[in-house]
């Protein structure tokens, strides 16, 4: 616990120092906007150095020898630990907690929306609640799979003993708690009510909480840039002998493609939020029309990140699902090479379609056609992913465990999400669909369907590896089905209310939509309850579940060839790779992990 306490204390001191500097050097008050910014920056640095960065790293910069603080058991997780497996587990637990929290917030929203008028919240408070839900969930989708499984599995799957930059990895993780705290503390200084997209002019004019939102999200972006950098460098430089690019497990490819995106485009999100801060604090006029600025600029800069961000969310999900489908249908992954090309072209084309979020923004009209065409072009590689999934399942020997069940659900939901996307990408139909619940339903199908379901599937699939124990299969299946069924019952009605003109981000709506909304709210609550089962299953099994063998699924990839949980530097002796990762049922195919003639010695 000591590193945590030390980090908290130096974080608080850092905050005070930053806020004080701001107060003394400018006209800002101690709780004013500039003080919040400097306070957060110094507080973040204080926290990071306190938690262990100083000992493990900073000492080097002043000529001292770094100290590593070792610990055993659960204490390993509460300190600056550079082991990629520890970091992966830290991300998984953190993100699941944030997810459950943001889910509770969603229940509050659905309670408000259960009837047309204003009941639970004022209009203003509703917008704050909605914004909080949005940004927390976006964070989970961006860093859930990539942070948890990207860190835990990429080194294992490529036969490395850690990431390329272990300390940067730990740094990236430990930036996350202050981000969460800043977001959750924003209500103390007026909260933020501009949605997760933070469009100006509102985000330049609203309460001070918006400033905390901005600095927190910029820090989160930095963390995701560092994470992306690490994964890209790791995949390029740390592969074991024999692990050629065409033998990389498909999840590694997916994480690689997503990481290239987070390494690069995330800077645009940072830039757009910095511009808002400058407009608020430094008196610039990027988005202020009176000074000659334009709010349209924000939309361009913001969506240049935030559309590709949906692929940062969903590419790793695709990787997890294809991984699971191949292992559980005991068949080689269908069209491996086409899938790889598709991942990379989704990342590529996905970077030039951003303005499909802006069809009603007043941007130049002659851009609408090209952006529509480019957006629809992404459906081609996306279709290839579906083909690969179905092609692998086709005539496979399906082993219906919870992960495969969730993979089936994933296919269904992502299909609905993708198809409804086409109506949004067509600017003619989007004119009436934009900013309605149709969009809300669309992106819940894509993000919950595409990313969260994969996060759940991966959690079950790798649970034995991470904890060394088996989860309860029956409870797992009940949870998966429950979640899936009530997800449909919640969100299909939302397409319908959207088509009937219900606007998003407003606490009230047309009276005649009350019945359907009440139904959706009830279903949402029941969906939320399914997570009790999820949490109970995982917590109980982690402690009391049957001990897991090294390879309970009989899978070929490297992470299953070491003990559960894996030893400290992953492989007892340097591994090398022989056959492909998915050669199930291929006669005469050598194992993926090269068999050593004399394993002893």
The residue within the footprint of Cu ion, chosen from 79, 128, 280, 307 (CB under 5 A), is 307
Closest distance of CB 296 from Cu ion, Å: 17
Nearer to ligand HEM, 147 or 421 (CB): 421
How far is residue 160 CA from its own chain's centroid? 24
Round to whole Å and give the CA distance between 197 and 258. Answer: 21
Nearer to other proteins, 82 or 451 (CB): 82
The residue within the footprint of other proteins, chosen from 16, 125, 180, 238 (CB under 8 A), is 238
Closest distance of CB 353 from ligand HEM, Å: 8
Round to whole Å and give the CA distance between 22 and 71. Answer: 38
The item of other proteins, Cu ion, ligand HEM, none sharing an interface with residue 263, based on CB under 5 to 8 Å by kind, is other proteins
Which region among 88-96, 302-310, 468-476, 589-597 touches Cu ion (by CB under 5 A)? 302-310
Nearer to other proteins, 270 or 385 (CB): 270
The item of other proteins, Cu ion, ligand HEM, none sharing an interface with residue 214, based on CB under 5 to 8 Å by kind, is none
Q: Is residue 415 within 8 Å of residue 487, measured between CB atoms?
A: no
Nearer to Cu ion, 14 or 498 (CB): 498
Round to whole Å and give the CA distance between 422 and 255. Answer: 25
Residues in contact with other proteins, shown as a per-residue x/- string from 189 to 228 under the rule CB under 8 A: ------------------------------------x---
Q: Is residue 255 within 8 Å of residue 154, measured between CB atoms?
A: yes
Sign of CA dihedral 303, 307, 308, 313: positive
The item of other proteins, ligand HEM, Cu ion, none sharing an interface with residue 203, based on CB under 5 to 8 Å by kind, is none
* 361 in contact with other proteins (CB under 8 A): no
Beta bridge pairs of residue 577: 593
Using left for φ > 0, alpha for ψ between -120 and 50, and beta otherwise, residue 195 falls in left
The residue within the footprint of other proteins, chosen from 194, 232, 454, 456 (CB under 8 A), is 232
Angle between helices 295-329 and 123-145 (to 10 degrees): 50
Q: Is residue 120 within 8 Å of residue 112, measured between CB atoms?
A: yes
Query: Binding to other proteins (CB under 8 A): which residues in 121-160?
Result: 160
Using left for φ > 0, alpha for ψ between -120 and 50, and beta otherwise, residue 435 falls in left
Query: Binding to other proteins (CB under 8 A): which residues in 376-435?
Result: none
The residue within the footprint of other proteins, chosen from 8, 264, 361, 551 (CB under 8 A), is 264
The item of ligand HEM, Cu ion, other proteins, none sharing an interface with residue 421, based on CB under 5 to 8 Å by kind, is ligand HEM
Tell the residue number behind the tokens 């990762």, with chain if given: 581
Other C-beta atoms closer than 10 Å to the C-beta of 68 total 11
Residues in contact with other proteins, shown as a per-residue x/- string from 289 to 328 under the rule CB under 8 A: --xxxx--x--xx--x------------------------
Residue 415, burial from CB neighbour count under 10 angstroms (0-12, 13-18, 19+): middle
Chain residues that interact with ligand HEM, rule: CB under 6 A:
197, 310, 313-314, 356-357, 375, 378-379, 382, 417-418, 421-422, 424-425, 430, 433-434, 439, 442-443, 446-447, 450-451
The residue count for the chain? 601
Nearer to ligand HEM, 56 or 257 (CB): 257
Q: Is residue 192 within 8 Å of residue 272, measured between CB atoms?
A: no
Q: Is residue 322 within 8 Å of residue 388, measured between CB atoms?
A: yes
C-alpha distances (whole Å) from 78 to each of 43, 91, 203, 220, 537 are 19, 12, 35, 19, 23
The item of Cu ion, other proteins, ligand HEM, none sharing an interface with residue 161, based on CB under 5 to 8 Å by kind, is other proteins
Closest distance of CB 353 from Cu ion, Å: 6
Round to whole Å and give the CA distance between 11 and 195. Answer: 28
Nearer to Cu ion, 128 or 307 (CB): 307
Round to whole Å and give the CA distance between 452 and 467. Answer: 21
Q: Is residue 461 within 8 Å of residue 553, measured between CB atoms?
A: yes
Closest distance of CB 571 from other proteins, Å: 8
Closest distance of CB 221 from Cu ion, Å: 18
Beta bridge pairs of residue 547: 469
Closest distance of CB 414 from Cu ion, Å: 15
Round to whole Å and give the CA distance between 249 and 577. Answer: 12
Round to whole Å and give the CA distance between 76 and 1. Answer: 10
Sign of CA dihedral 590, 592, 593, 594: positive
Nearer to ligand HEM, 264 or 360 (CB): 360
Instruction: Please name which of 297, 298, 144, 148 lies closest in space to residue 214, comparing C-alpha atoms.
Output: 298
Nearer to other proteins, 29 or 237 (CB): 237
* CB-closest chain residue to ligand HEM: 421
Nearer to Cu ion, 90 or 197 (CB): 197
Residue 346, burial from CB neighbour count under 10 angstroms (0-12, 13-18, 19+): buried
Closest distance of CB 16 from other proteins, Å: 23
The residue within the footprint of other proteins, chosen from 60, 69, 124, 511 (CB under 8 A), is 60
Closest distance of CB 164 from other proteins, Å: 5
* Sites of contact with other proteins (CB under 8 A): 56, 60-63, 82, 160-168, 225, 229, 232-233, 236-238, 263-268, 270-272, 274-275, 278, 282-286, 291-294, 297, 300-301, 304, 569, 571, 574
């Amino acid at each position: 616990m000591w590193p945590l306490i030390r980090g908290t204390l130096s974080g608080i001191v850092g905050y005070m120092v930053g806020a004080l500097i701001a107060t003394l050097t400018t006209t800002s008050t101690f709780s004013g906007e500039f003080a919040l910014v400097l306070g957060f920056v110094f507080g973040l640095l204080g926290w990071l150095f306190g938690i262990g960065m100083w000992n493990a790293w900073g000492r080097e910069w002043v000529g001292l020898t770094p100290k590593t603080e070792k610990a055993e058991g659960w204490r390993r997780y509460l300190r600056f630990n550079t082991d990629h497996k520890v970091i992966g587990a830290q991300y998984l637990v953190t993100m699941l907690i944030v997810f459950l929290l943001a889910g509770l917030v969603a229940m509050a929203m659905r309670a408000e929306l259960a009837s047309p008028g204003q009941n639970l919240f004022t209009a203003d408070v509703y917008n704050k609640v909605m914004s909080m839900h949005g940004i927390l969930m976006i964070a989970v989708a961006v860093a859930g799979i990539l942070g948890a499984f990207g860190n835990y599995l990429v080194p294992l799957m490529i036969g490395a003993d850690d990431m390329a930059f272990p300390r940067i990895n730990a740094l990236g993780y430990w930036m996350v708690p202050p981000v969460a705290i800043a977001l959750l503390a924003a209500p103390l200084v007026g909260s933020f009510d501009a949605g997760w997209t933070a469009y100006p002019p509102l985000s330049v004019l609203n309460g001070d909480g918006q400033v905390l939102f901005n600095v927190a999200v910029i820090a989160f972006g930095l963390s995701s840039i560092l994470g992306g950098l690490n994964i890209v460098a790791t995949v390029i430089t740390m592969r074991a002998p024999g692990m050629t690019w065409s033998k990389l497990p498909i999840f590694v490819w997916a994480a690689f493609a997503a990481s290239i995106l987070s390494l690069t485009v995330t800077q645009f999100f940072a830039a757009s939020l910095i511009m808002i801060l400058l407009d608020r604090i430094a008196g610039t006029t990027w988005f202020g029309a009176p000074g000659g600025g334009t709010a349209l600029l924000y939309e361009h800069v913001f969506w240049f990140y935030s559309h590709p961000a949906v692929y940062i969310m969903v590419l790793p999900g695709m990787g997890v699902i294809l991984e699971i489908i191949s292992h559980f249908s005991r068949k080689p992954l269908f069209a491996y090479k086409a899938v790889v090309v598709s991942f990379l072209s989704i990342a590529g084309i996905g970077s030039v379609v951003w303005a499909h979020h802006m069809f009603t923004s007043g941007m130049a009209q002659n851009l609408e056609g090209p952006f529509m065409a480019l957006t629809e072009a992404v459906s081609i590689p996306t279709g290839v992913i579906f083909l690969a999934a179905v092609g692998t399942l086709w005539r496979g020997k399906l082993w219906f465990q919870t992960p495969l069940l969730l993979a089936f659900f994933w296919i269904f939901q992502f299909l609905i999400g993708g198809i409804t996307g086409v109506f949004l990408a067509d600017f003619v139909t989007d004119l009436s669909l934009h900013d309605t619940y149709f969009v809300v339903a669309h992106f819940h199908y894509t993000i919950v369907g595409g990313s969260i379901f994969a996060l759940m599937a991966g959690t079950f699939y790798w649970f034995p590896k991470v904890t060394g124990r088996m989860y309860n299969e029956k409870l797992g299946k009940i949870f998966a089905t429950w979640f899936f069924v009530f997800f449909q019952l919640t969100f299909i009605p939302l397409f319908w209310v959207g088509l009937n003109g219900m606007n998003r981000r407003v606490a009230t709506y047309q009276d005649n939509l009350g019945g359907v909304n009440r139904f959706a709210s009830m279903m949402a609550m029941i969906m939320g309850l399914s997570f009790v089962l999820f949490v109970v299953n995982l917590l109980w099994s982690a402690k009391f579940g049957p001990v897991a063998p090294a390879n309970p699924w009989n899978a070929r990839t490297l992470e299953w060839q070491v003990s559960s949980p894996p030893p400290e530097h992953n492989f007892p002796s340097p591994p090398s790779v022989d056959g492909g990762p998915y050669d199930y049922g291929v006669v005469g195919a050598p194992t993926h992990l090269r068999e050593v003639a004399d394993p002893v010695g």
